[in-house]
Amino acid sequence: MEEGGYIKPDRDDPGTGEATALPGPVLSRAEPRGLAAFFRRRSPVDVLFATLTGAAGVFIIVIVLGILGVLLSESVLSIEKFGPIGFIFSTEWNPVEELFGAATGLFGTAVTTVLALVFAIPVALGIAIFLSEVSPNFLKGPIGVAIELLAAIPSIVFGMWGLFTLAPIMADHVEPALQSVFGDIPVIGQLFAGTPMGIDLFTASVILSIMIVPFAASISRDAFNLTPALVKESAYGLGATKWEVIRDVILPHARLGVFGGIVLSLGRALGETMAVAFVLGNNHQITSSLFDGAASITVTLANEFTEADSDTYLSALFHLALILFVFSLVVLALAKYILLRAQRKERA
């Protein structure tokens, strides 16, 4: 028999002859769950804070879905005319005949992004290692500030510097030197064929790499600084050199942070517009040479939106924007998935 949280046994107390209530398992009622219970158990301040932060999270999702909805609705005409798959693999871009395709824009976007990462990541890691492990203290502050200021420079400034300063240097000195070294090598030489003009895929990739170095370097430096001092001192105590500590202790400990910096740099490179627009050439073609002009999706959107004089032309540009939006989400989601898997394996 249950009464007041106690169980009465089926026997009497030998001293009084009355039933004695002995401690037994408390039979608690099922607690309410869900949002109602969450708000009932918390103070009004906590409820207000949870509501505001939850609304902020939902607001981000609403923005993303809203952008996707607008891009889809504006791309319907292009999707119906060229097809969702045919548009992606078509190399046509002829506004006069209203024939459009995304292959050339995707090619320019992918090549400049990959080359920028190839150029930027080793430099960024070198800067991060120097600042965290090698540099004297009086240099760490000025160099760190310079890196952060580099990230704050507007992209159009990079573009103008690239057009008026870097492009002539590339055309007169760097690209001819690369041709003389690699031009006669089979297969590889094709990458450096053509007339060096300085307005091409190679120069655009260099500009882009300079722009993303600060992001990768800053995050990698912070990740290196999180390595426990005790672990490094233990390695030094065992006779390890500085290079061995960096290679075998710091880099493995900070690899997830470094990968996060690379992912952030990847997102920055995929969406860059103005700096690349000055030096890429806006030539809708798929080329085997890095010294030829090309077009990326962002450059095409920036250069041609004001020239879109027909519904099909405008819809094709929105279709390009939709492809870039989905492409960026897929790439960044894949990178995030790889990062989460690595974190789970590390915890295991």
For 293-337, the DSSP string reads -B--HHHHHHHHGGG--SHHHHHHHHHHHHHHHHHHHHHHHHHHH
Tell me what pLDDT residue 16 has: 52
Tell me what pLDDT residue 36 has: 62
Distance of CA 143 to the CA centre of its chain: 24
CA dihedral 180, 184, 185, 190 (to 10 degrees): 90
Q: How far apart are CA 171 and CA 291, in angstroms?
A: 9
3 state SS for 56-69: HHHHHHHHHHHHHH
Rg (C-alpha) for the chain, rounded Å, is 30
Q: Determine if residue 77 is left, alpha or beta; phi over 0 gives left, psi from -120 to 50 gives alpha, anything else beta.
A: alpha
Identify residue 226 by its one-letter amino acid code. L
All domains of the chain in start order, with CATH: 1-30 (no CATH), 79-347 (1.10.3720.10)
For 256-278, the DSSP string reads HHHHHHHHHHHHHHHH--HHHHH
Cα end-to-end distance, the chain, whole Å: 48
pLDDT per residue as tens, the chain (348 positions): 444 444 444 555 555 555 455 555 554 555 556 656 666 667 788 888 888 999 999 999 999 999 999 999 999 999 999 998 999 999 999 998 999 999 999 999 999 999 999 999 999 999 999 999 898 988 888 998 998 888 889 999 999 999 999 999 999 999 999 999 998 898 899 999 988 999 999 999 999 999 999 999 999 999 999 889 899 999 989 899 999 999 999 999 898 889 888 988 988 898 888 899 999 988 899 999 999 999 999 999 998 988 888 999 999 999 999 999 998 888 888 888 888 887 787 776
Tell me what pLDDT residue 5 has: 46
pTM assigned to the model: 0.82
Tell me what pLDDT residue 38 has: 61
Q: How far is CA 265 from CA 14, 282, 301, 317, in A?
A: 81, 23, 21, 25
The 3-state DSSP class for residue 291 equals: coil
Tell me what pLDDT residue 6 has: 46
